[in-house]
Amino acid sequence: MTGFVHLPYKLRTFPTKSLAAYKPVACSATSGEGTGNGAAVNFQKNRGLVIAEIAVDKIRRPLSRTRANDPDKVKALMESIAQIGLQEPIDVLEVDGVYYGFSGCHRFEAHQRLGLPTIRCRIRRGTKETLRHHMR
Ligand code: ADP
């Protein structure tokens, strides 16, 4: 008998290219060792960006109060992340050693609600001016 495999939430839309690119993740980051900001010490360079595990509670989300997440999306992501892990890192901006998140809101909340200590991030370095631009 040929079985039907039910793929989890949005799995079929993953770009295989980026999945392969994100595979070699640096290291765990719960201690914040060496940086004091919850980021992994050994970063993995990837096309000018850095992929690293960052402590969930070290990521500031300045706009989170003004934007509501879709609870059904968060729930579906929680189930999927618990089952297969995060397949696509969230984007964060690093300014003077502080991490800011403006997107990936549902994945971030799913991590928080699952009680996961860290989240895989694609980090872009920026200036205070970049930050101001995001806050507008
Ligand atoms: P967000 O606000 O986090 O971007 P969306 O619902 O708009 O939430 O998009 C969910 C994103 O999470 C998609 O880009 C999807 O590829 C990604 N993703 C990463 N890991 C998973 C996973 N385990 N299951 C489902 N989607 C995932």
Domains defined along the chain, listed by start: 52-135 (3.90.1530.10)
Q: What's the gap in Å between 107 CA and the centre of ligand 1?
A: 6
Cβ-based neighbours of 28, under 8 Å, separated by 6 or more = 40, 53, 118
**Which atom of ligand 1 is the closest one to the Cα of 85?**
23
60: β partners: 100
pLDDT-based confidence at 74, cuts 50/70/90? very high
Cβ-contact 61, 92 below 8 angstroms: no
d(CA 90, CA 100): 11
Residue pLDDT, tens place only, 19-38: 333 333 433 333 333 345 55
d(CA 40, CA 117): 12
Q: What is the pLDDT of residue 38?
A: 55
45: β partners: 50
pTM: 0.75
Cβ-contact 111, 82 below 8 angstroms: no
More confident residue, 67 or 26: 67
Give the pLDDT mean for 46-53: 79
Candidates 83, 106, 107, 111: which one to mutate for ligand 1, based on the most atoms within 8 Å of Cβ?
107
Among 1-5, 15-19, 114-118, 124-128, the range with the most confident prediction by mean pLDDT is 114-118
**Any residues with Cβ below 6 Å from ligand 1, and which?**
8-10, 14, 73, 77, 80-81, 84, 86-88, 103-107
**Which of 27-31, 49-53, 114-118 is predicted with the least confidence, judged by mean pLDDT?**
27-31
Cβ-contact 69, 106 below 8 angstroms: yes
**Which atom of ligand 1 is the closest one to the Cα of 14?**
16
Q: Give, using CA atoms, the residue closest to atom 23 of ligand 1.
A: 81
